[in-house]
Chains A and B, each alone.
Chain A
Amino acid sequence: MMTDLQAIMPILIVTLTAIVTMVAESFQPRGERVPLGGLGLIGLTGAAVASVLLWGRDLTGFGVMRADNFALFINVTLCAIGVLTILFSTSVVERERIPSGEYFALTLFGISGMMLMAGASDLLVIFLALEVMSLSVYVLTGIRRSSEAGAEAAFKYFLLGAFSSAFFLYGIAFTYGVVGSTRLEQVAATLASQVSGPSVMTILALALLLVGFAFKVSAVPFHMWTPDAYEGAPTLVTGFMSTGVKAAAFAAFIRVFLSAFEPLHAEWAPIVSALAVATMVLGTTVGVAQSNVKRMLAYSSIAHGGYLLVGLIAANSVGKAGMLFYLAAYGVTNVAAFGVMALLSTDDHPHDNVRDFAGLWHRRPALAAAMTVFLLSLGGLPPTAGFVAKWYVFAAAVQEGYYGLAIIGMLTSVISVYFYLRIVVLMYMSEDVAVDPAPRLPRGAVAGLALATLAIFYLGVLPTRVINLAVQSVQGLF
């Protein structure tokens, strides 16, 4: 019992913090504001510390939860994403009059779902985690109740999300039908022992699960909801879901496809390759045509999903560790990029058009410099985290002989540099068009930006420590 609880300690801490946040809001005296974000920060730090303490112990909780290094690595990444989101949120929540108790509680519940998803070793628990996470994010998307775009985005996201959940559930049902269990190790053992090749039922189960995951990681052609949901959601929620949801979904994707369905690698690899190519190409080429920065970053995040899929296809230890590194690097970078946008928004102006960035350098040199670092990291230029991350997953692809995938990935990343540079061009190389001075930056947000910038350079210049941790995370697991 004790080890069971220990294994889920990080998740427990986050869940409890979420509950405390909700309760604290309803008990706060009228006219006074309890710093709810601070509570979240404490909780996430606690969860991160708990994850670090559990490192290397490989505990199992209740038979369905693994606290292996893989889950813990993702946990810490999620905590970092959560901390940055909260740091950027405090002032934004106030300005946009978002109900803060709900906002922070839902963010924390979402993170707990994501952590659950990263550690679950049973298909049904993964499904539960998926729902915990998704429901929180659906509500967060539409949390600005007066906003039409927000409502539309939430509705679309919810409907398509429900579809994907159904696919996923079907996949679980078929898997159960074939194997007689939803435990991943059981599934792997049974599939590996099938000598006559996979049955139609197995293939069907595989295909349905694949569709479910493809929806969640917004792989083309299951990406349709992404641009609309990303555009309509409050900017910081977009940042949160484009990184947290993706990290959790990929964690489960890796666990299911590289442990349970590893014996069928030859069956699914060609399909996932096709998805990856379509995702990289469409994400970057359509991204070029966007003038709304949130939409642009939505397509960019689709493309990043494609690069991660390349690591999944390579399926070797380099690829798995590479994906973990990629998720960490991309998570920090993308949250921070959305953070800059949110910080620049004002009540009546969302600051999400490319033009809004014109001349930012003259007004806010430091902020423009930080945004440049984030964009260059997204574009994968050295010496930033994004470069090492891309190099890592493509190294995995090359190692397995997938030169074609690596080349397509590299060339599409050059295309993506084009649209990231558009913002840089406007920030630095055009005249200032600001009508009103942007709001003052709160201290928490400055700390968040500084932390993110430091992390990006740290991962880009001295990646050894994190690479070693990522390598340990996938050792002897699958």
Chain B
Amino acid sequence: MTFPLLSLTVFAPLLGALLLLAIPNKDGERNGLVRVIALGISLVVFALTVAVWAAFDGTSADFQMVERVPWIPAFGIDYHLGIDGISLWLVVLAGFLTPLALLSSWHGVEKKVKEFSFFLLALEAGMIGVFLSLDLFLFYIFWDAMLIPMYFLIGIWGYDQRVYAAVKFILYTMAGSVLMLIAIIGLAVIHAQATGQYSFNLLQLYQLTLDPRTQLWFFLAFALAFAIKVPLFPFHTWLPDAHVQAPTAGSVILAGVLLKMGTYGLIRFAFPLFPDAALQAAPYIGTLAVIGIVYGALVAMVQPDMKKLVAYSSVSHMGVIVLGICAANVQGMQGAIYQMLNHGISTGGLFLIVGMLSDRRHTRQIAEFGGLKHVMPKMVAAFLLITLSSIGMPGLNGFIGEFLSLMGGYRWRPDLAAVAATGVILSAVYMLWMFQRVNYGPLTNPKNKGLHDLEPREWAALGPTLVLAIVMGVVPNFFLAPMAPSVDRLVQRLHAQRPALAEAVPVTTPKPVPASVSLTPEQAAR
């Protein structure tokens, strides 16, 4: 029995959250202490995620540090965690953004600080759990349970329309995921029919041979759940509401990590579990993604509210990621995963900045600002860097991810990639235009005269995203190398010859196909 590092990483935030609840904090007299402890816990968790990275063997495509304990044996459900190159950086990202989110709400959140920190840490546990689960039942539990803290974060600490946004968020996401639950059960039942035993084990289900019809239905059920989470056009309508109404910390986590669960789900579950259906559906999903890229960009352009603008820019950027996934080749997948990290960092940074401005002025209307460089030059410098990272400026992180995704897309469908590339131009338009209206020009609004520049705490929150934006742009290979083996194997799995399927339709064979377990080449080789 090796040291259960992954379990510790999943449950440390939850334990910390419960610990926080034990601190008596009536009427907020211990808010400062609570904040410090919460930040401490989140830093410990970040250290744990870094430890996971340190222990990770980047040359292997296998799941590592696997923990597997029978949980509900009657149904073949295990407590089953593991990490590979695809989930590695997402776990680190979740660990990285949570302390920043806590820092960002140091002054923004004054009421019920203890509960706020509790929900944020509980959310972190859920997110890390989603990325590490290798059992579909366990995955679904984390996936759905995670909605609860996010719902409270938006609903209690959000802005005016928070209740509407919170309820819309949870119902929308649930409605999508219940169908996935049925498909999950269906998979386990089919596994039982084929082998005599239930299994929710992802690795075993990968090897299941499904007939094309079932595959298509199950794929659609999974894809719908993930498409809503991404959110893919036209399932995106919950996102602007949730983003605009959420407190800064909520937006950072929502954009930074939660949306990635949708794309992660596509990569980890929907595509490899149902490869034929996925490849069949990919052109349609890719088309939706491209529509989302252009549509999100156009809508972002006309937003008067900075937060809403960034929210729609997310719709656009997530489209690029989905396009890379649909391409189902190495560049596309790598680019998608890399872009998931980039988007987490750049959009997280943007929401941090918008939150800082909103803390000062209690408004996020672009028209209320203007000429901020005269009063907040340091903030403007940081803002510029994050903006450039978001629009994919070469030398910064966004460029690498977008370039790889689009290249993968081009190799697959040049037409889609061509339209998607316009999104890159459009994103430069709306981001820079917003940047210009907020920061340049004369300082017209007298209310902006007295604004103070970034304080050390804000630097602490924002600084790491700036550093990473540069580092990830300059040494991408440091991040790409450990994910390469896993991505290679994934792509091989997707394009593996699956002889069973063509003949599975009993045209030539009168006998039913034996409950076969098809092995992909590299598994057969092992």
Contact = CB atoms under 8 A, between A and B. Distances in A.
A407 B179 contact: yes
B18 to A, nearest CB: 12
Interface string B143-176: 0110110011001100000110011001100110
Given A421-B170, A425-B167, A471 B185 contact: no
Contacts of A382: 140-141, 144-145
A446 interface: no
Contact size class for A?
A: 20 to 34
Contact of A411 (B144, B163, B175, B189): B175
B167 A421 contact: yes
Interface residues of B, number: 33
A417 B151 CA distance: 13
Interface stretch (A278-286, A299-307, A332-340, A462-470): A462-470
B72 A391 contact: no
A410 B182 contact: yes
Interface stretch (A158-166, A221-229, A398-406): A398-406
Nearest to A362: B112
B456 interface: no
A471 B171 CA distance: 33
Interface centre among A382, A391, A407, A464 (most CB of B within 10 A): A382
Interface string B54-74: 000000000000000001111
Nearest to B155: A429
Contact of A403 (B166, B181, B186): B186
A146 B102 CA distance: 56
Contacts of A418: 167, 171
Given A417-B170, A417-B174, A406 B182 contact: yes
A414 B71 contact: no
Contact of A464 (B73, B162, B171, B175): B73
B178 interface: yes
Nearest to B162: A429
A467 B198 CA distance: 15
A24 B166 CA distance: 53
A376 B186 contact: no
Contacts of B144: 381-382, 387
A428 interface: yes
Interface SS of chain B: helix
Given A376-B148, A383-B145, A387-B141, A394 B182 contact: yes
A398 B74 contact: no
Interface in A396-453: 398-399, 403, 406-407, 410-411, 413-414, 417-418, 421, 425, 428-430
A383 B167 contact: no
A407 B174 CA distance: 13
A247 interface: no
Interface in A44-78: none
B106 interface: no
Contact of A467 (B74, B155, B167): B74
Contacts of B188: 395
Contacts of B147: 381
Given A383-B141, A391-B185, A471 B74 contact: yes
B412 interface: no
A428 B185 contact: no
Contacts of B140: 382
B459 interface: no
A394 B175 CA distance: 16
Interface string B176-203: 0011011001101100100000000000
A244 B324 CA distance: 55
A381 B140 CA distance: 10
A428 to B, nearest CB: 6
A374 to B, nearest CB: 14
A467 B72 contact: yes
A428 B152 contact: yes
B75 interface: yes
Interface string A225-237: 0000000000000
B114 to A, nearest CB: 10
A467 B70 CA distance: 14
Nearest to A376: B148
A48 to B, nearest CB: 24
Nearest to B140: A382
Contacts of A467: 72, 74-75
Contacts of B192: 399
Given A381-B147, A381-B148, A414-B171, 16 more contacts: A382-B140, A387-B141, A391-B185, A398-B185, A406-B185, A411-B178, A414-B178, A421-B167, A425-B155, A428-B156, A429-B155, A429-B166, A430-B163, A464-B74, A467-B72, A467-B74
Instruction: Return the 4 tightest CB-CB contacts between A and B, nearest first.
Output: A410-B178, A382-B141, A398-B185, A382-B145
Interface of B: 71-75, 137, 140-141, 144-145, 147-148, 151-152, 155-156, 162-163, 166-167, 170-171, 174-175, 178-179, 181-182, 185-186, 188-189, 192
Interface of A: 376, 381-383, 387, 391, 394-395, 398-399, 403, 406-407, 410-411, 413-414, 417-418, 421, 425, 428-430, 463-464, 467-468, 471
30 contacts: A376-B148, A381-B144, A381-B145, A381-B148, A382-B141, A382-B144, A383-B141, A387-B141, A391-B137, A394-B181, A395-B75, A395-B188, A398-B185, A403-B182, A403-B186, A406-B182, A407-B182, A410-B182, A411-B175, A413-B178, A414-B175, A417-B174, A418-B167, A425-B155, A425-B166, A428-B155, A428-B156, A429-B155, A430-B163, A464-B73
